[in-house]
Structure formats: structure tokens, C-alpha cells
């Protein structure tokens, strides 16, 4: 019988980030990230883009839209989980201020 290997992963970052119409980086580039997850815990839509801030006017540029939670910190907002991406992740709202929890797993 073969050997079973278990990959060890640890949380590098696990933080609640405010998200505004200016946009901001919620996860920085790291070379040993295994996966990441971002959940919208605010009550406005959050636009997510890999590598640079989302653009919401003119030629729109964003990677995902996270649906809002039914109430602040309710836990039912949109979730994004991505494996094997080591670049930065940015979030922005079209209006108002939102909130996301961003978790970075390394190993």
C-alpha cells in the first residue's frame, strides 16, 4: 500500500477589511499561498479583481461580484474560494462602504 501524504496549511492572514468606492488591496501577493477565501459580510455588493483594483466605469474590469449579506456580519454574503493564486486581490464597492473577511492559506 502507498504512503498517504497530507499537505500542511496554515492561516497567513485572516482579517476583516472595510471596502469603499476607492477600492483597496485585501490580500497581498505571496509566493507560498495554497488558497484564499473572501466572504462579503457587509450589506452592499463587492467587486473583486485579481492583480489590481476593480474598474466600474467605462470599460469595466473585475473578476467576481460578491453578493451582499442580508445584514451586517450575518454570514450569508457571497463567498469566493480560489486555489493556487499567489497575486494580490483587490475589492471595491459601487457605492457605500462594505466589509469582507479575507483569509489566506499558505503551506
Name the DSSP letter for residue 89. Answer: E
Share of the chain above pLDDT 70, in %: 93
Read off the pLDDT of residues 67-103 as tens digits, 9 standing for 90 and up: 999 999 999 999 999 999 999 999 999 999 999 999 9
Which fold, 16-106? Jelly Rolls (2.60.120)
Higher pLDDT, 71 or 8: 71
Read off the pLDDT of residues 19-72 as tens digits, 9 standing for 90 and up: 999 999 999 999 999 999 999 999 999 999 999 999 999 999 999 999 999 999
pLDDT range class, residue 6, cuts 50, 70, 90? low
Q: Would you state the pLDDT for residue 66? A: 98
The strands making up 46-50's β-sheet, listed across from edge to edge, are 24-27, 89-92, 46-50, 64-66
Q: Would you state the pLDDT for residue 50? A: 98
Q: Would you state the pLDDT for residue 8? A: 76
The C-alpha cell at 78 is: 457571497
The C-alpha cell at 27 is: 490580500
pTM value is: 0.90
Amino acid at each position: 500500500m502507498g504512503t498517504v501524504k497530507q499537505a500542511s496549511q496554515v492561516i497567513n492572514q485572516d482579517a476583516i477589511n472595510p471596502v469603499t468606492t476607492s477600492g483597496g488591496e485585501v490580500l497581498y501577493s505571496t509566493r507560498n499561498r495554497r488558497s484564499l477565501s473572501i466572504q462579503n459580510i457587509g450589506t452592499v455588493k463587492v467587486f473583486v479583481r485579481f492583480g489590481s483594483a476593480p474598474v466600474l466605469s467605462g470599460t469595466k474590469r473585475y473578476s467576481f461580484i460578491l453578493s451582499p449579506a442580508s445584514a451586517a456580519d450575518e454570514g450569508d454574503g457571497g463567498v469566493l474560494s480560489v486555489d493556487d493564486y499567489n497575486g494580490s486581490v483587490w475589492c471595491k464597492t459601487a457605492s457605500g462602504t462594505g466589509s469582507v473577511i479575507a483569509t489566506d492559506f499558505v503551506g
